[in-house]
Amino acid sequence: MPALPCIRQVVLLVPDLDEAITQCRDAFGHTSGTRDPESMTELGFEHEVLSFGDTFLELCAPLTADSSHGRLVERRGAVGYMLVVQVDDQQAVVDRAAGLGIEPLFAQDFEGNRISQWHPRTLGTLAEVDQVDPPESWHFAPRIFDAACTDVARDVVAADLASPDPEALARTWSQVLDMPLADPTTLPLQHTVLRFVPSDDVTGLVAFDVAAADPERVGESLRLCGVDVRFVADATVPA
């Protein structure tokens, strides 16, 4: 069961889903993924989720070019889109955010879980903060776990959010999640880390780290669907 709060999923927005799936499956060794066509079509996307051990990478492509998402990928190509953090008490997050004058776009029950989404203007990227019951489960369970592949990457273990004011953004996340900063731009969560990097042009989710299954790959990096992916040491494997 994941200790909370933690990064549970990263979401990339891509112009061509099939091309993105091929790139990501090749990079991480997956032979299959998880889809929910009906629900995602209602939201204006087609998608696929690639599963690691306890974390997930979702690829989303807009169904129409004239949507806000379609215009975004027309301008920028593939981009980091959303960060999903799991917590043990979503209402406490909403209450702490309210104390800062911040409100979610929505907070509601969904299939027995509590989900909320937050505007990029407040959390630096489109963000989802979810409370899942039981905590070791996730959306689309159990089939999302059946498609897991950890041959190349064990899990997503860190993410970078770019901002013109990374220290202010880090403080906001720290207060909302009630977790102390390690330094002005680093927020350790449980077994995962949020980092805040300076940028005046590209903002939002710009990179994430994965725990390398092969220690020989530690230090490698690649550019994948608009973000940087870094292979780091797997903290669960003794040195």
pLDDT one-digit tens code per residue, 114-143: 999 999 999 999 999 999 989 898 888 788
Quick check: 211 pLDDT over 50?
A: yes
The terminus-to-terminus CA distance of the chain in angstroms comes to: 23
Q: Report the percent of the chain where pLDDT is more than 70.
A: 97
Q: What's the Cα-to-Cα distance from 149 to each of 100, 131, 222, rounded to whole Å?
A: 40, 24, 19
Per CATH, the number for 1-239 is 3.10.180.10
Give the amino acid at 53. Answer: G
Give dist(CA 35, CA 17) in Å, integer: 12
DSSP β-bridge partners for residue 45: 62
Give dist(CA 47, CA 3) in Å, integer: 27
Lowest mean pLDDT among 10-14, 109-113, 170-174, 208-212: 109-113
The pTM of this model reads 0.94
Instruction: Place 170 in a pLDDT band, splitting at 50, 70 and 90.
Output: very high
Quick check: 21 pLDDT over 60?
A: yes
Domain ranges of the chain: 1-239
Quick check: 145 pLDDT over 80?
A: yes
Give dist(CA 162, CA 141) in Å, integer: 31
* DSSP 8-class letter at 183: B
Say if residue 2 is preceded by a cis peptide, omega within 30 of 0: no
pLDDT score recorded for residue 1: 56
pLDDT score recorded for residue 238: 47
Give dist(CA 139, CA 74) in Å, integer: 29
Half-sphere exposure of 238 (CA within 13 A, CB side): 0
Quick check: 41 pLDDT over 90?
A: no
Cβ atoms within 10 A of the Cβ of 31, count?
7
